[in-house]
Amino acid sequence: MKNLQPLLYLLCFLTFFSAISQELLNTSGNVTLNYKKRSPIYDYSELQLNPTDTIPDFETKPNKLKISGTIFLSDKITPAKDVLLYVYQPDEDGNYVMKKDDRQKRYVYHRGWIKTDADGRYTFYTFMPGKFQRTKELKQIHRIIKEPGKPEYELNPFFFNDDPLIPDLTLACRAQIVNSMLRIEKEGDMFVATKDIILKKDTSLDQ
């Protein structure tokens, strides 16, 4: 009986690994086999992604933030199913907290993944990011998206309508960020924002 225990552990590991690999093949298309160089959108550890995820440290941060919306196909009507959306962000001081996983790949600690269901909905529970005080970079949450059968690509980051640097931007810059800008409201003890995403046929985004 004792000899069976290691075999059972191995079987469980192989089953989990096989399921993750199959999930990647089903949702990613051609994914580079170089683990350290591939996009972090594929580095989730969950066996099954769902439309809601929580960024690490959400519970301990004072300025909690809920971002939700619907991802639509290019017709702006049909919800987009099985789309992966990956986000990562700095902490409240504008620092990107970096860590290494078990395979020594560096990653941004404050990150999360969702996969849309038939309704195309997504929700992230996170916190308000900060920015470096010595730079003129806007507060932002970075995004990478993956449609079924297409390569992953970056979207414009989420920006924030209450950012004090926005009035200093040129009209051209403001025009570029307006479609990915979050309009923040306060509901109870949490900030909330709703932002839909429209997929384009050429894999670009009406952000």
> In this predicted model, what pLDDT tens digit does every residue of 23-68 receive, in sequence order?
444 444 566 679 999 999 999 998 899 999 999 999 999 999 999 9
93-102 contact pairs (CB < 8 A, 24+): 93/130, 94/129, 94/130, 94/131, 94/132, 94/133, 95/130, 95/132, 101/43
Say yes or no to pLDDT of 99 above 80: yes
Coil, helix or strand for 23? helix
Assign 17 a pLDDT band (cuts: 50, 70, 90): very low
| Confidence (pLDDT) at 206 | 43
As a whole number, the mean pLDDT across the chain is 85
Which CATH number is 156's domain given?
Answer: 2.60.130.10
Residues 148/85, Cβ–Cβ less than 8 Å: no
> In this predicted model, what pLDDT tens digit does every residue of 132-183 receive, in sequence order?
766 778 999 999 999 999 999 999 999 999 998 898 889 999 888 988 999 9
User: In the block, which residue shows the tokens 């093949």?
Assistant: 25
Assign 4 a pLDDT band (cuts: 50, 70, 90): very low
Q: Which residue has the higher pLDDT, 76 or 18?
A: 76
Residue 154: domain span? 4-206
Residue 42's identity, in one-letter code, is: Y
Count how many domains the chain has. 1
Residues 82/114, Cβ–Cβ less than 8 Å: no
Coil, helix or strand for 120? coil
Give the CB-side neighbour count of residue 5, counting CA atoms within 13 A: 2
Q: How far apart are CA 187 and CA 34, in angstroms?
A: 43
End-to-end CA distance of the chain: 58
Helix boundaries (H) for the chain: 4-28, 171-177
Q: How far apart are CA 181 and CA 193, in angstroms?
A: 10
CB-based contacts of 172: which residues, under 8 Å, 6+ apart?
A: none
